[in-house]
């Protein structure tokens, strides 16, 4: 064998040994840089005073990262992309921000209005809709690029914006007492169906988990406006127009929310406006069957995913308290005091735990929903809304 062939063979072996050595030496660093993880147990917590969000892990109950630069988050909400990787944050200053929650970075941000209060993601995940107070109306954006696709003026503050089956959006007009249903199959030219005279000042709304019913609460008068999205031709039905009749209407220090309300197989639990009660509505007759006295003016009446429990928080001066209702007999089975200014609650996807934001004590408290024991406490800077990625696959979330 020639000397040149021996040299070439030795060089090849040397280079191969070098590659193997370097691979083994730097494998930990390489593995760390390319570590894979899912998104199904992640969530976003709004830090309202600092215009930032926390990205959290609901399995390990830990903070993963903090992302800043969101502007005014004093009334913020969040929706998620279908793959659960991106969060869309709606800020009070009209900001719409797309966040990569795996990398903990802002992907894009636009200021699309002067005062915004929420939004939705379309059934196909391709559109982001934003509801505005100033100048009013709804705007549609491409989910990937945040390109503006359509502007729907309403001459009113828009509330209760949700996605609905059939590539539709549904929302209420606070000033004019209307409900609009927008077909956004063609997002540049949505088709609008309007329902007028639904009641005075609809302030918030919810859509049922199967997408059939849209329920708007009324602030300017008693009752609710109910729209069957499977039978639009039937129009809007008014229900519970006389609830609390004969009882004193108390000052409202914080507007109740209908999002996440307690829906069971047969009943719907909702907050009463201006009363220290939770109303129980029969889902078959739409009649009130019970009024549950509670600790204060309810704000959120949130159902555990299985519907067995409903957790309630309250407005000032009772906002240090949370009460738990057993939906089998509508009794209050637990009263907790997480701390001053409980603003929001969010259940883990299967409901074994609930996360509670305690704004004035700068912390999050996590409770076991079976034992009611506190199982974790995390620091957070003036936390408010809590949103888990499981919402990505729920209608109206």
The pLDDT assigned to 332 comes to: 98
Please provide the size of the chain in residues. 397
**CB distance 327 to 351 below 8 Å:** no
pTM (predicted TM-score)? 0.90
Tokens linked to 154: 């309403």
Two tokens at 58? 């609901």
334 closest CA partner among 381, 283, 369:
369
Cα distances from 392 to residues 125, 194, 307, 327, 397, in angstroms, run: 9, 27, 19, 26, 7
Output the pLDDT for position 250. Answer: 83
> According to the model, what pLDDT value does residue 2 have?
47
How much is the pLDDT for 192? 98
Q: What share of the chain is helix, strand, coil (3-state, %, to 5)?
A: 10, 45, 45
pLDDT at 1: 47
pLDDT in 10s for each residue of the chain, 397 residues:
444 544 455 555 555 555 445 444 444 443 434 578 899 999 999 999 999 999 999 999 999 999 999 999 998 999 999 999 999 999 999 999 999 999 999 999 999 999 998 999 999 999 999 999 999 999 999 999 999 999 999 999 999 999 999 999 999 999 999 999 999 999 999 999 999 999 999 999 999 999 999 999 999 999 999 999 999 999 999 999 989 887 878 888 888 999 878 888 899 999 999 999 999 999 999 999 999 999 999 999 999 999 999 999 999 999 999 999 999 999 999 999 999 999 999 999 999 999 999 999 999 999 999 999 999 999 999 999 999 999 999 999 8
Q: What is the pLDDT of residue 13?
A: 57
Tokens of 213: 């019913």
Residue 278, both tokens:
């939770």
């Amino acid at each position: 064998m020639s000397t040149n062939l021996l040299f070439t063979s030795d060089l090849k072996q040397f280079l191969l040994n070098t590659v193997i050595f370097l691979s083994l030496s730097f494998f930990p660093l390489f593995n760390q840089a390319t570590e894979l993880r899912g998104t199904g147990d992640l969530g976003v917590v709004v830090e309202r005073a600092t215009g930032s969000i926390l990205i959290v892990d609901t399995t390990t109950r830990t903070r993963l990262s903090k992302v800043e630069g969101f502007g005014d988050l004093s009334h913020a909400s969040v929706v998620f992309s279908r793959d659960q990787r991106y969060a869309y944050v709606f800020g009070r200053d009209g900001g719409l921000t797309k966040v990569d929650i795996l990398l903990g970075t802002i992907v894009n941000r636009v200021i699309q209005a002067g005062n915004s209060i929420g939004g939705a993601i379309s059934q196909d995940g391709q559109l982001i809709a934003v509801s505005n107070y100033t100048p009013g109306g709804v705007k549609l954006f491409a989910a990937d690029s945040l390109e503006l696709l359509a502007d729907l003026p309403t001459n009113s503050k828009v509330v209760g914006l949700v996605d609905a089956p059939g590539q539709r959006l549904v929302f209420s007009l606070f000033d004019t007492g209307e409900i609009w249903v927008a077909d956004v199959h063609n997002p540049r030219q949505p088709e609008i169906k309007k329902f007028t005279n639904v009641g005075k000042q609809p302030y918030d709304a919810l859509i049922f988990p199967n997408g059939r019913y849209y329920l708007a609460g009324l602030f300017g008068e008693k009752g609710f406006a109910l729209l069957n999205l499977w039978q639009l031709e039937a129009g809007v039905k008014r229900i519970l127009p006389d609830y609390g009749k004969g009882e004193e209407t108390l000052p409202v220090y914080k507007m109740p929310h209908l999002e996440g309300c307690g829906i069971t197989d047969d009943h719907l639990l909702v907050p009463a406006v201006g009363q220290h009660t939770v109303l129980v509505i029969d889902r078959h007759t739409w009649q009130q069957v019970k009024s549950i006295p509670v600790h204060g003016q309810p704000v959120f009446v949130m159902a555990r995913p299985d519907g067995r429990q409903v957790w309630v928080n309250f407005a000032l001066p009772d906002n240090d308290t949370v009460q738990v209702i057993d939906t089998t007999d509508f009794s209050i089975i637990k009263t907790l005091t997480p701390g001053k200014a409980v603003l929001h609650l969010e259940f883990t996807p299967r409901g074994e735990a609930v996360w509670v934001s305690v704004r004035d004590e700068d912390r999050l408290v996590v409770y076991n929903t079976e034992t009611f024991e506190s199982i974790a406490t995390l620091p957070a800077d003036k936390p408010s809304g809590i949103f888990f990625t499981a919402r990505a696959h729920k209608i109206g979330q």
